[in-house]
Amino acid sequence: MATYMHLGEQVDPDEYVVCEYRVTTDIPMEKAAASIAAEQSTGTWTDLTTTTERIVGDYGAKVLSIEGDRTVIAYPVEDFSIDVGGVPQILSVIAGNLFGLESIGKLRLEDVTFPKCITDMFPGPRFGASGLRRILDRPEKPLVGTIVKPKIGLPPKETADYVYEAGAGGLTNSKDDETLTDQRFCPIEDRTVAVAEALDRLESEGHRMVHAVNVSTNGDRIVELAEKVQSWGAREIMVDVITCGFAAVQALAEDPSIKVPIHVHRTMHGALTRDPLHGISMLPIAKLVRMCGGDALHIGTLGVGKMSGNPAGDLANLHACLDPMGGYREIMPVCSGGVFPGMVGTMVKRSGFNVQIQAGGGVAGHPGGVRAGARAMCQAVDAAFAGIPVAEYAETHPELKTALDRWGTR
């Protein structure tokens, strides 16, 4: 085990994938960290007659530091596949069998940094935040969107009516829910065509809007389905990255036939991210989505929505979307999950303006209906952009006032 310990050593960042783990264990941290490094590279539970010093020296992971319950482990780039964009194999190395090690109680992958030789394998976003802003002709203000609610049950015409009303109220974005794909009550072709007609109507009235059609399906069919929804008029597509896989996002981003932005939903991420001591934090997931070519990604609500999360963690996810990385375009961070107008000011104060704020129930639950709910959301965003307290802005904006009376502020 000692051969994996390199405490204090500085490695070449161009030659290693560097990971930070949080470890909860009853055994000494040095032994736990060495066990992780061995298990995920050249070792196992016992000494091997087939292992040599050269193999461990060239391909063994290195434990670089241990501070409290955190350890940093570096994996040589030679441990990773030479295939273009091998996310499945990357995850097998940095987030594989280590979670099942009996000697370790809990373990969480907190962060990962990739060298240029690996980021160069991935396409990155084709549109990104700047591309979405260009499509929507909205250069500075936060994008403001909705999710069609109820999440399932509406037929195509009513779905399109919802989208039209939301756009007429000023929203820039809408999308299918993560559970809506191609059910009998709302076939994807009929829905896509109806929504495209609603978007065309809005554009003829002078308002630009995009709607993300959920193309989440089996990996061998996802590009074909995306091509079809494009032909039916889709202006954006959506994929559930955890359930479909990172390779699905990459397949869509790399295929030249896909010419619309890719909105990435993170449904099921809580199974990996919610336990602060075990699993995988959202931060590595966000980095991988950006590498694979997502153009927008759900990051949490910066501590104010209905979903589990905290401001610091969600802010780190936001930075993973926007900070320089691999020469990639920025991707649009999406704040969604129990959002309503009274929390927009707090959210934007934490996020800045390069963000998409998205409300489902916070639009459809407005007493005045979808159009009034959309107006209230837009008014809240306008207030935040202008630096005006939301309660003050509501004095002259009745839709916002109604929303604050219903849900309050946060």
Question: Averaged over 18-45, what is the pLDDT?
Answer: 95
In whole angstroms, how far apart are CA 386 and each of 35, 383, 390?
53, 5, 10
> Angle formed by the axes of helices 246-254 and 87-94, to 10°?
150
From the list 62, 149, 298, 401, the catalytic residue is 149
Confidence tier at 84 by pLDDT (50, 70, 90):
low
Residues β-bridged to residue 279: 108
Q: Which of 311, 297, 231 is nearest to 261 (CA)?
A: 297
Cα torsion through 304, 265, 272, 283, rounded to 10: -70
pLDDT at res. 303: 85
Judge whether 207 counts as a catalytic residue.
no
Residue 145, amino acid? G
Q: Which of 221, 207, 214 is nearest to 262 (CA)?
A: 214
pLDDT at res. 281: 97
Identify the CATH number of the domain defined by range 128-407. Answer: 3.20.20.110
Given a cut of 60, whether residue 2 has pLDDT beyond it is: no
Q: What is the mean pLDDT of the chain?
A: 95
Given a cut of 70, whether residue 308 has pLDDT beyond it is: no
Domain ranges of the chain: 2-119, 128-407
Given a cut of 80, whether residue 306 has pLDDT beyond it is: no
Given a cut of 90, whether residue 160 has pLDDT beyond it is: yes
List pLDDT tens digits, range 210-240: 999 999 999 999 999 999 999 999 999 999 9
Question: Averaged over 91-115, what is the pLDDT?
Answer: 94
SS3 350: helix
Cα 282-292-159 angle, rounded to 5 deg: 80
Question: Averaged over 172-185, what is the pLDDT?
Answer: 97
What percent of the chain clears pLDDT 90, i.e. is strictly above it? 92
CA end-to-end span of the chain: 51
For residues 360 and 338, the answer to whether their CB atoms sit within 8 Å is no
Given a cut of 80, whether residue 264 has pLDDT beyond it is: yes
Confidence tier at 93 by pLDDT (50, 70, 90):
very high
Q: Which of 1, 39, 41 is nearest to 17 (CA)?
A: 41
List pLDDT tens digits, range 309-364: 688 999 999 999 999 999 999 999 999 999 999 999 999 999 999 999 999 999 99
Q: Residue length, the chain?
A: 410
Residue 364, amino acid? A
List pLDDT tens digits, range 108-153: 999 999 999 999 999 999 999 999 999 999 999 999 999 999 999 9
What percent of the chain clears pLDDT 70, i.e. is strictly above it? 98
Given a cut of 80, whether residue 307 has pLDDT beyond it is: no
Confidence tier at 202 by pLDDT (50, 70, 90):
very high
Judge whether 116 counts as a catalytic residue.
no
**Per-residue DSSP letters for 295-359?**
SEEE---TTSSSSS--HHHHHHHHHHHHS--TTPPP-EEEEESS--GGGHHHHHHHH-SS-EEEE
pLDDT at res. 338: 93
CATH architecture for residues 2-119: 2-Layer Sandwich (3.30)
pLDDT at res. 1: 47
From the list 265, 269, 397, 401, the catalytic residue is 265
